[in-house]
Structure 1
Amino acid sequence: MIKEEKISFSLIVCTYERASSLKRLLDSVKKQTEYPDEILIIDGSVTEETKKIIDEYQYAKLKYFKVGEEDRGLTKQRNYGIRHSGNVDVICFADDDLVLEKNYFAQLLSTYRKKPEAIAVGGWIDDDTYWRKEEGNYKPKFDEFIIDNYVRKLGQRNVFRKRLGLLSDKPPGFMPEFSHGFSTGFLPPSDKIYEVEFFMGGVSSYRSCLFQKIKFSSYFEGYGLYEDMDFCLRTSKIGQLYVNCAARVVHYHEQAGRPNKYKFGKMVIRNGWYVWRVKYPDPSLKARLKWHGTAYLLTLVRLGNVISTPKRKEALTESFGRIAGWFSLIFKNRTSE
């Protein structure tokens, strides 16, 4: 029997004021069938709660770093972690509000063995979406999405986009010319490995040699919405990316540490425009119209949530942020505040 190649790997967790969530994540890391060669906690918290958790509970091979204002923020903390990582083959990142299935790392690393050309591999997030398996000749309804005979509902906003011809015709994890593609959340629970050009940064891994060529962009500050897509799109110009749907996590969507809804809405538009232009610096007129048309439609849908959901203030505030972000692209320099 041939022994499998040993792949050394680091786990970097960037955290901010989420001590209890971090403990829950680390408890799931502790149960892994393949344990990291090192765990780096990059803490941007102002309080000492996270440090207390680290001191109270013992986790093997863990290194704790408390960063100041100059290194605070998701992309800065990730770059900080990379600089302090040891000599390993693969660097993994995990959001601090995840719980990993016990074979998560084993599945991620197996992808590099099965796909030696892989430069990056992402995991699969269980977000409670209901999927069902159908026979090969099944024809989905208008409000359904199908891939590999797995079917799920599209959701209201995507049904609207489909009616208006604004829905992506590319598979999940690929960006069409007008952006607004299907996220890797539309990959099914098939346990298969899929080629992609982007995936979620909270369940990501990269060959360490990649970081000799590129790093996470300083454009994204603080919460850093879409920084993962930006990095993946640039990575896809260097090598092949995959998502392994057998490498699974549960995401608890911890609210602590997130920006207010106005800032979030503004980031949705401005950062979304930025990553679109990373992939397509000079899109066609049709693509430009479809990008703005989709942004307009999704803002209207979010405004509609003021009536249709109990969180009316959040929906309204985020909608105002989206509108402000949109107008800032039209009337101001697109890379300035």
Structure 2
Amino acid sequence: MYCTLIICTFKRAGSLSNLLHSIAQQTLYPDEILVVDGSPDDETEKMIRANDFKNLTYFSVPPHLRGLTRQRNFGIDNISAKAQIVAFLDDDTVLMPDYFEQMNRTFEMHPDVSGVGGIALNENAWEEAPEGKIYNSKKFYCFDGHVYKESQRNVVRNYLGLASNLGPGKMPLFSHGRTCGFPITGRVYDADLLIGMSFAFRSEVVRAIRFSPYFEGYGLYEDADFSIRALRFGRNVIDTRLQLRHFHHPSGRPNHYRYGRMVVRNGYYVWRVRNPKPSFKARIKWHLITLLLAAIRLSNVLSGPEREAALKESAGRFAAWIQLTYNRPQRND
């Protein structure tokens, strides 16, 4: 299947170089690579010109087209008419050698699948569960013969009866799903939400829905929004054989207060895309969990290693929650 890869980047020439060299080692090479660069300097362009990456087209976009959402849509506007699969990767990832071969195989074997996501090996905290061992369900989550140690916030949610009632990758009616990902079993799992560091869709999906302008700028949860809207074309799945490593580069991220605001405000937006008319019970749960998570983040001021960051982020969360009483985000797609 003809595969177009879109990589959006901003002042990360070194990280992008590592990714492109891992693509060069692929057992199945993409038919088209579009690098959409929002950098104000020419370091990324110099790096690309110093190498000979096959099938690569480089675009440097002007300031009004910078930002992940705008750059992704710019890439979509420039894909080949022959594209059957459109893949997206974060510029700070490195792929396993069979990444694109496995992606192609998954789409071919599952004609009802519209979107496929991968697994970051260095972020996967699942372990095989010894047969017969019993775990405290409030502190550990068991799934498909594997076990995951719950984070502090999920332990609290478990004890308060506010945990998700669905499996990994699924969004419950009150949002706030499980963030544990999937164990590496070699299987394919259905999911509502795919992660933007590593996902791909059939070309008819990206041509039809594009990325929402609501998330222009630093688009936290833009991948969740796109994944949810893609479900009307078919299934979304996580293929645990689709593997890479993700090295979160610190540049290009917003300040902690703004990030906290986006966690709440963008989270509300995505919840209402998935569940436009939530029940009273779902509404209460969403708000309770939102306040609980903000309070837990605030508690990190007393015990966490980055106390100033925790204070600013929690302030942003509480401010955004209060703002929802008189200014709720509206769909813009």
Does 1:73 pair with 2:67? Answer: yes
Gaps of 5+ in 2: none
1:158 maps to 154
Does 1:188 pair with 2:183? Answer: yes
2:295 maps to 300
Please say if residues 328 and 334 of structure 1, whose CA atoms lie closer than 8 Å, have aligned partners that are also in contact. no
1:3 maps to none
Cα deviation per residue 1:303-332 (whole Å; 9 max; x = unaligned)?
Answer: 111222221111111111111211111232
Please say if residues 129 and 152 of structure 1, whose CA atoms lie closer than 8 Å, have aligned partners that are also in contact. no
2:38 maps to 44
2:164 maps to 168
What is the distance in 2 between the residues matched to 1:113 and 1:75? 28
Please say if residues 196 and 242 of structure 1, whose CA atoms lie closer than 8 Å, have aligned partners that are also in contact. yes
Identity across aligned pairs (percent)? 43
What is the distance in 2 between the residues matched to 1:334 and 1:209? 28
What is the distance in 1 between the residues matched to 2:327 and 2:214? 17
SS in 1 for 2:4: strand
Please say if residues 108 and 121 of structure 1, whose CA atoms lie closer than 8 Å, have aligned partners that are also in contact. yes
Gaps of 5+ in 1: 1-6
Q: Which aligned segments of 4 or more residues in structure 1 are displaced greater than 6 angstroms?
A: none
Which of these residues, 113, 117, 126, is aligned with residue 118 of structure 1? 113
2:175 maps to 179
Letter in 2 for 1:225: L
Structure 1, 129-138 or 289-298: larger mean CA deviation: 129-138
In the superposition, the TM-score normalised over structure 2's length comes to: 0.95
What is the distance in 1 between the residues matched to 2:110 and 2:44? 37
What is the distance in 2 between the residues matched to 1:45 and 1:138? 52
1:333, distance to aligned residue in structure 2 (A): 4.1
SS in 2 for 1:237: helix
Letter in 2 for 1:327: I
What is the distance in 1 between the residues matched to 2:292 and 2:171? 18
Alignment of 1:1-337 (within 5 A): 7-86=1-80, 87-135=82-130, 137-141=132-136, 142-183=138-179, 185-335=180-330
How well do the aligned residues superpose, as a CA RMSD in angstroms?
1.5
What is the distance in 1 between the residues matched to 2:87 and 2:185? 22
Please say if residues 12 and 39 of structure 1, whose CA atoms lie closer than 8 Å, have aligned partners that are also in contact. yes
Number of equivalent positions: 329
1:54, distance to aligned residue in structure 2 (A): 1.2
- Provide closer, same or farther for how the CA distance between residues 186 and 211 of structure 1 changes in structure 2, counting only shifts above 3 A: closer
Please say if residues 124 and 181 of structure 2, whose CA atoms lie closer than 8 Å, have aligned partners that are also in contact. no
What is the distance in 2 between the residues matched to 1:186 and 1:267? 22
What is the distance in 2 between the residues matched to 1:242 and 1:71? 30
In the superposition, the TM-score normalised over structure 1's length comes to: 0.94
SS in 2 for 1:122: strand
1:234, distance to aligned residue in structure 2 (A): 0.7
What is the distance in 2 between the residues matched to 1:220 and 1:67? 18
What is the distance in 2 between the residues matched to 1:163 and 1:186? 21
1:136, distance to aligned residue in structure 2 (A): 5.4
Please say if residues 119 and 242 of structure 2, whose CA atoms lie closer than 8 Å, have aligned partners that are also in contact. yes
1:137, distance to aligned residue in structure 2 (A): 4.7
Letter in 2 for 1:197: D
What is the distance in 2 between the residues matched to 1:140 and 1:105? 37
What is the distance in 2 between the residues matched to 1:75 and 1:13? 12
What is the distance in 1 between the residues matched to 2:106 and 2:133? 30
What is the distance in 2 between the residues matched to 1:207 and 1:129? 26
Please say if residues 138 and 149 of structure 1, whose CA atoms lie closer than 8 Å, have aligned partners that are also in contact. no
1:71, distance to aligned residue in structure 2 (A): 1.5
